[in-house]
Homo-oligomer: A and B are copies of this chain.
Amino acid sequence: MQYKSLSLTDKLALIDEHWSPRVLAEMNDNQFKLVKVLGEFVWHQHDDTDEVFIVLKGSLRIEFRDGSVQIDEGEMYVVPKGVEHKPCAEAEVHMMLVEPRGVVNTGDAEQSTMTARGDVWV
């Protein structure tokens, strides 16, 4: 039997919306999500979990209250739990997020138009 791998590029091509993460795979209780982003997100934090950003295309800046990090293509960064952050993409960025199942994209921030429905697969 020939099992099938998951192509990040092929799956990204199926995503139209910005800031709307789609689940690509699960490892135990964790989800690997693909997302396209453009512009500024909202300030938020995740009180119970770290969050991994892996940039596949473009360059993402994440602002913190005391600084920022620039994540270019082929780079990753782990935002520690409880750290307030705001992702910003001056041009479109394609990336993979890794975090536990059930995490809301806007974290502790008030629900808004930026709040995406969870557990939508691609």
Which residues of A are interface residues toward B (Cβ below 8 A)?
A: 1-9, 24-28, 30, 32, 49-52, 64, 66-72, 74-78, 81, 98-100
Contacts and interface: CB of A to CB of B under 8 A. Distances in A.
Nearest to A98: B27
Contacts of A3: 64, 67-69, 77
B5 A28 contact: no
- Most interface-central of A25, A28, A71 (chain B CB within 10 A): A28
Contacts of A52: 25, 27, 32
A8 B72 CA distance: 11
B50 A5 contact: no
A106 to B, nearest CB: 19
Contacts of A7: 72, 74-75
A78 B2 contact: no
5 contacts: A5-B69, A5-B70, A5-B72, A5-B77, A27-B50
A121 B8 CA distance: 26
A82 to B, nearest CB: 12
Nearest to A55: B5
